[in-house]
Structures are given as C-alpha cells and as structure tokens.
Amino acid sequence: MLSSKWTSTPREFPTSGFELLDASSKIEEETLPTYSPEKYYPVQQGEVFNDRYQVLAKLGYGVTSTVWFARDLVAPSNAWNDGTKVEKDIQLKNLLLPTPSSSALADFEEREIKVPAARKILKDRTVYTTSRFPAGDGLPLLGDFGEARFGDEENIGDIMPDYYRAPEVILKSNWDYKVDIWNVAMIAWDIVSSQTLIRGETRDGIFDDGVHVAELVALLGPPPQEFLQKRELSSVFWDEPGKWKNLVPVPDRTLEKLAVNIQGEDVEGFLRWLRLALQWNPEDRPTALELLMDPWLMKGLNLRKKEPKNSEQKTQV
C-alpha cells in the first residue's frame, strides 16, 4: 500500500535469480563468536521503515546489528539532509567513505536489482551477503560515537569488539584515550593484510581472553613488570616474577611471519610504526599527533615535518 507522503515509488526486488546458500553454513554475522539471532532485527530487502526508508542492500554487519543501504521515499523539506549516523568505537567498519561519483548511489541500486545479493533463507529470517559498495577517493570520516568518552578521564569496563581490545581492557583495568591509539594500529593492519592479527579463538571457535593474551605475548613479547603490577587480573596469566603461567600455550606467531604477504615498498617501516602503537603500557604508546608525524607515515603521504625557515636557526634550552 502506497503512503500519501511518499514522493517516489518503492522499488520492487526480484524473488528469484539470486544465489541461494546452504542453510547449514554460517555466513556474515553468524560467524561472529557472540552471535545470537535475537540481537538482530530480521531485515527483509525491500522493507520500508518508519513509512519512509526502503531497504535496498546490505552494507555490513557488527556484533549487535546489520548495516543497510536505504532509499528515502520522501523528498527532503530543505537543502540540508544529514543522513550520517555516528555511534561508538574505532574500527574499520566505522569509517565513513565518500561515494566515487554523484551517480554511484543510483548505479549501486540498479545493480542490486539486476544482480541480487546471495542469501540463505531460514524459517524466521533471511541472512543476506554484503553487497560491495564502490570506494571513493576522498578522505574517510570516523563515525560510530555512541559510546565515546571524554579523553582526559580514566574509565573502566568492557569496550571495543573482542578482536580490537587493548591489553588494559582485556585485563579489566582502567583505560583512557590510548586505547584509540591501539585501535588505529589494528585498523591499519586490517587495511593492508587479509590475515587477521588476532585470532583469539579456542579449537571450538569460542573467543577466549587467555588465547587473546597468549597471542599478544607472541606478537609483542612479554609485558613489562610495570604493566603487570598495575593490573590485578595479570596474576591469572603471569606469576609474581612475571613468568607466563602457560595456561594457554604461546603460539609461534610473529608480526614478521604474518606480514610476509603484505605488498608495499617499506613493510619494515610499517611494522616499526605498528609496534609504536601496539605497546603493552598505554603510557608508552604515542599520542595521535606523534603517530601521525612519524617519518614512515610522512614519507608515505609525501610530506615532511615542518622545519624552521632559517636552516641555521637553533633552539636554545
């Protein structure tokens, strides 16, 4: 039934012609360690929300929801139409990218009609595969600030998806803005490598803090004694002198081995930059500005640190 306030007609989507996937195989959000169907609204392609927004295609998924591309069926009442939703933590899925051209949205919509996304149909829901959206060439914007905190305050409690959690978060101790520095490094790795930096799963496929910490020891080496002394839960994994209790074996897993297939001119420089941010002690991690101004990143951006106009000028201390 058409609504009187719609200024455009909803699209009709094909009911056949798409790839039907095996219902017993896990895909998309179902592969997440904490997946529970009850957390997710069972979106149907073509569904209209709030008598206004028609769902066109799936763009991604997270630990509690799926993300969809929708079409506004009502013309905006003014020229400014802010359609950006921002919520919480820093991860690759929370970067908002510009469209490559003004026609990209229409082209994407038409492609979804002609070549519908593969899916699996269950009794209570349909699980769709993500449709690849064309990337633009502009600067990305960080979104998802729903759980953002003030940077000058110490906090405690679980934050971040399991894979991205900094050591102080895993060990349930206080954390501050330096968790974002850790996250930036994790995102950088995800951008350049198809292999995850952290697996963190038991043989049964369950994400486990012990496995996660053991992998960090393998990647970064043992934590400094100062770090262990500040974290009460460190006694679960290390004895008083700081020796690993081996509740979970430390795997043979290093940054260098994982980086063997990374393409680029200066992989060693990238790994050095990565290690700057991936420090056990939050106090040892650089600030955002220091990380940005690192020579490796400046070289990659074709920039250099600003120097005094007069090369002979010296600073007196």
Three-class SS state of 185 = helix
How many whole angstroms separate alpha carbon 140 and alpha carbon 97? Answer: 5
CA atoms within 13 A on the CB side of 191: 14
Question: What value, to the nearest 5°, has the Cα angle with vertex 138 and ends 137 and 143?
Answer: 120
Please report the pLDDT score of residue 174 as a whole number.
84
Instruction: Specify the residue for token string 């969809």.
Output: 68
pLDDT per residue of the chain (317 residues) written in tens, 0 to 9:
677 788 888 999 999 999 999 999 999 999 887 889 998 999 999 999 999 999 999 998 887 889 999 989 997 654 333 333 223 345 555 556 666 666 778 888 899 999 999 999 999 999 999 998 776 666 666 665 555 555 566 666 666 777 888 999 999 888 888 888 998 999 899 888 888 899 888 888 888 999 999 999 999 999 999 988 888 889 999 998 889 998 999 999 999 999 988 888 889 999 999 999 999 999 999 999 999 899 998 887 776 554 444 444 433 32
Is pTM beyond 0.75? Reply is no
How many whole angstroms separate alpha carbon 162 and alpha carbon 169? Answer: 10
Please report the pLDDT score of residue 236 as a whole number.
93
Helix 267-277 with 178-192: angle, nearest 10 deg: 150
CB 28 within 8 A of CB 127: yes
- Which residues are CB-neighbours of 305 under 8 A, at least 6 positions away? 293, 295, 298
CB count in 10 Å sphere of residue 149 = 16
E-strand stretches of 136-258 = 141-142
Beta bridge partners, 274, equal none
How many whole angstroms separate alpha carbon 164 and alpha carbon 198? Answer: 8
50's torsion region: left (phi>0), alpha (psi -120 to 50) or beta? left
Please report the pLDDT score of residue 215 as a whole number.
96
Amino acid at 298: M
Please report the pLDDT score of residue 82 as a whole number.
39
Helix (H) or strand (E) holding 66: strand 66-72
- Which residues are CB-neighbours of 80 under 8 A, at least 6 positions away? none
Three-class SS state of 201 = strand
Strand 119-121 versus strand 95-96 pairing type: unpaired
CB count in 10 Å sphere of residue 178 = 21
DSSP state of 128: E
How many whole angstroms separate alpha carbon 145 and alpha carbon 87? Answer: 3
Three-class SS state of 169 = helix
How many whole angstroms separate alpha carbon 30 and alpha carbon 42? Answer: 13
